[in-house]
Amino acid sequence: MTSKNSKQRNILLIPVQDNLSHLGVKYLHYTLLQKGYMSKQLFIPYFNARKETLSNSLKAFISEINPLYIGLSLTSLEYHRSSDLGQFLKKVFPNIPIICGGIHPTVDPESCFSFADYVMVGECEYSLIDFTEALINGTDVKEVPNLCYMENGIMKQNPLAPAIQDLDILPVFDHIPKLSFIQRKDGTVCAIDRKIYHKEGRFLGRMYEMLSSRGCGFSCSYCTNSYLNKLYPSNKRVRRRSIQNIIEELEKVKHNDPEIKQIVFHDSSFLIGKRDYFKEFCKEYKEKIGIPFIVSTTPTSIDWEKLMLLKDAGVSWVTMALQTGSDLINKDIYKRYSFKKDFFKAAELIKKARLPVKSDVILDNPFEKEADTIETIETIMETPKPCLFEIFSLALLPGTELYERAKIECPDMMEDCRGKNFMKFKQSYLNMLTVLAVYLPKSIMKKLLNLYKANFNGSGIFKVALYLSKGLSNLYFKPKNLFYWLKLTRGDSYIDTFRIMPLYVKDYFTYRNL
Ligand code: B12
Ligand code: SF4
């Protein structure tokens, strides 16, 4: 049994990303606090091991709190940053154990032992409590579920604890997270209060990001959800929180920061599920929260009734990914059973509801032929404007079905996804055309595409036309599209559009995504 006093040792959790939007660590931090442990969360958006001012103040902060252990959380994107941080911490604080977790350690635990003493896979709210208790009590951590450790140079992996089925048992959050700190650009580390959160958080700290469920109804071959579905085969695909539990969190959040302008539900497939649940959710949300909100889903789960319920409750937009305009790639390569016709049907309904289309596309797929990418471009051209597509470069993530397939079928096209910038796609003519299709009128795009088809290797005329169109798009069509897109998210009101704009401008230029 852990005594009350021994619980007073600090624990330090660091999400190794360049912003303050981390839900997984928030869950760990709040669960530790709920159980009476002294967890502290530290954000390090500007961390750079080579900058002395940054590392010295980090050293001073960690020495002062002298944590029992340091927990790092990372996606594959943050692998190199985490490795730099972990090695720096090991050098300065050789006696403080480092444990890491998150989606990258879950899919590729072994790769994290170069900078961590322990790795945890899967959902870890309760296994991290077990780990903490074992450290405090001096018992063997090697019994802790989900834990991986090294023994004689070989990685040992303990059995997984079952994933949490009743999400309502988890603590509800605050908008300005409790006992949380940030290392600012000048190196100083300070506690996060509302003023600092509004300066440093994404969207001027005026958006509240949350999850109303875990999991996804789909199992696309490139996505780590396909890996998680295999890791937890007996899980329900989508585990939902009760409506009361979601509303309780949002009421607390609204009270905590009355300046919140937008709620973002990061659920992978918000609209999959029973219709009655949505009816009830939209009614309660409208009555008790009433702040504009954003959801994501797959095109196949959008219908008129659900859209109307969402619109009435104040939805700003519904993100629904296209990924590729090629049905063949969706079906055979991505195992994503949402096709072009589903996308267009949903896009038309969204247009009819006077909401803007927001979608995602994946480029740089080694399995895609030129004709497939052209289909994507043509699908974007046909999408009702104003629309917004976020364009990502495919990362072959370890553990996913597509990764395993690519290893066999196109080994020379494999690249290390650790540290890969998902937002940076290859600079090919077709990729450039894909981006232009989002903003340029169909008539101009048709001419460009015809020129491309006629002059495969990019003739002089094609290049001139392409770069002129790019200039025109950047100077006129893109800003116009973005403005009218934003206006539709605000019920077509100019006043509300100008009011919300400052939230997006800084973020758009910093992170290049919404
Ligand atoms: C919500 C979400 C976002 C949100 C918030 C992200 C965040 N950092 O919280 C936003 C929109 C900002 C976002 C952005 C992006 N995301 Co995202 N996102 C998700 C999503 C849908 C859910 C994540 C989540 O909150 N899950 C619920 C929590 C509870 O789970 P969790 O974070 O995994 O944490 C648990 C465990 O991992 C573990 N754990 C976590 N940290 C630690 C630390 C320690 C010490 C321990 C012991 C345990 C532990 O315990 C936690 C509690 O159970 C996932 C899909 C997925 N299945 O995870 C993708 C996912 C994480 N995103 C992904 C990507 C690629 C991105 C983007 C690059 C854009 C894009 N292409 O989607 C950007 C940039 C990310 C960034 N680092 O800033 C990938 C990452 C793949 C990879 N291997 O790196 C995922 C897995 C989706 C996918 N495509 O497969 N994302
Ligand atoms: S629909 Fe999205 S979140 Fe769900 S498995 Fe496919 S890519 Fe992943």
pLDDT per position as a tens digit, 383-431 = 999 999 999 999 998 889 999 999 999 988 888 888 788 888 999 999 9
Before 386, cis peptide (omega within 30)? Answer: yes
Residues 168 and 245: beta-carbon distance below 8 Å = yes
Q: What are phi and psi of 235, to 5 degrees?
A: -65, 150
What pLDDT does 419 receive? Answer: 77
Ligand 2 pocket check: which of 336, 337, 403 to mutate, most ligand atoms within 8 Å of Cβ?
A: 336
What average pLDDT does range 294-310 have in this prediction?
95
d(CA 321, CA 343) in angstroms, rounded, equals 8
What pLDDT does 288 receive? Answer: 97
d(CA 460, CA 464) in angstroms, rounded, equals 6
**Residue 293, SS3 per DSSP:** strand
Q: Which of 481, 471, 389, 391 is nearest to 441 (CA)?
A: 481
Q: Which of 408, 410, 426 is nearest to 364 (CA)?
A: 426
The 8-class DSSP code of residue 164 comes to P
Rounded to the nearest 10 degrees, the angle between the axes of helix 442-454 and helix 429-439 is 170
- Residue 289: pLDDT band with limits 50, 70, 90: very high
Residues 253 and 173: beta-carbon distance below 8 Å = yes
The answer, yes or no, to whether any atom of ligand 1 lies below 6 A from the CB of 119, is no
Q: Which two tokens stand for residue 20?
A: 């303050």
- Residue 36: pLDDT band with limits 50, 70, 90: very high
Ligand nearest to the CA of residue 105, numbered in listed order:
1
What average pLDDT does range 91-106 have in this prediction?
96
What average pLDDT does range 472-496 have in this prediction?
95
Ligand 1 pocket check: which of 22, 28, 75, 98 to mutate, most ligand atoms within 8 Å of Cβ?
A: 75
CATH of 202-511, one of 3.90.1150.10, 3.40.1360.10, 1.10.3210.10, 3.80.30.20: 3.80.30.20
CA count, 13 A, side-chain hemisphere, 46? 17
What average pLDDT does range 465-488 have in this prediction?
96
Residues 94 and 114: beta-carbon distance below 8 Å = no
For residue 88, the Cα-to-chain-centroid distance in whole angstroms is 26
Residue nearest to atom 1 of ligand 2 (CA): 218
Q: Which two tokens stand for residue 22?
A: 């981390």
Residue 143 CA to ligand 2 center (angstroms) comes to: 33
Parse the chain into domains and list their residue ranges.
5-168, 202-511
Does 202-511 match 5-168 at the fold level?
no
pTM: 0.94
d(CA 460, CA 467) in angstroms, rounded, equals 11
Domain 5-168: CATH class, spelled out: alpha beta
Residue 103 CA to ligand 1 center (angstroms) comes to: 6
d(CA 400, CA 368) in angstroms, rounded, equals 18
What confidence tens digit (pLDDT) does each residue in 239-250 have? 999 999 999 999
- Residue 5: pLDDT band with limits 50, 70, 90: low
Residue 124 CA to ligand 2 center (angstroms) comes to: 21
What average pLDDT does range 328-348 have in this prediction?
97
- Residue 162: pLDDT band with limits 50, 70, 90: very high
Query: From start to end of 152-194, where are the E strands?
Result: 154-157, 180-183, 189-191
Question: Which protein residues are within 6 Å of ligand 2, measured from CB?
Answer: 216, 218-220, 223, 225, 268-269, 298, 336
What pLDDT does 77 receive? Answer: 87
What confidence tens digit (pLDDT) does each residue in 178-232 have? 999 999 998 999 999 999 999 999 888 999 999 999 999 899 999 999 899 999 9
Ligand 2 pocket check: which of 75, 214, 216 to mutate, most ligand atoms within 8 Å of Cβ?
A: 216
What average pLDDT does range 137-156 have in this prediction?
96
Query: From start to end of 121-246, where are the E strands?
Result: 147-151, 154-157, 180-183, 189-191, 207-210, 213-214, 239-240
Residues 232 and 215: beta-carbon distance below 8 Å = no
Burial class of 501 by CB neighbour count within 10 A (0 to 12, 13 to 18, 19+):
middle
- Report the Cα–Cα distance between both ends of the chain, in Å, rounded: 46
Mean pLDDT (the chain, rounded): 93
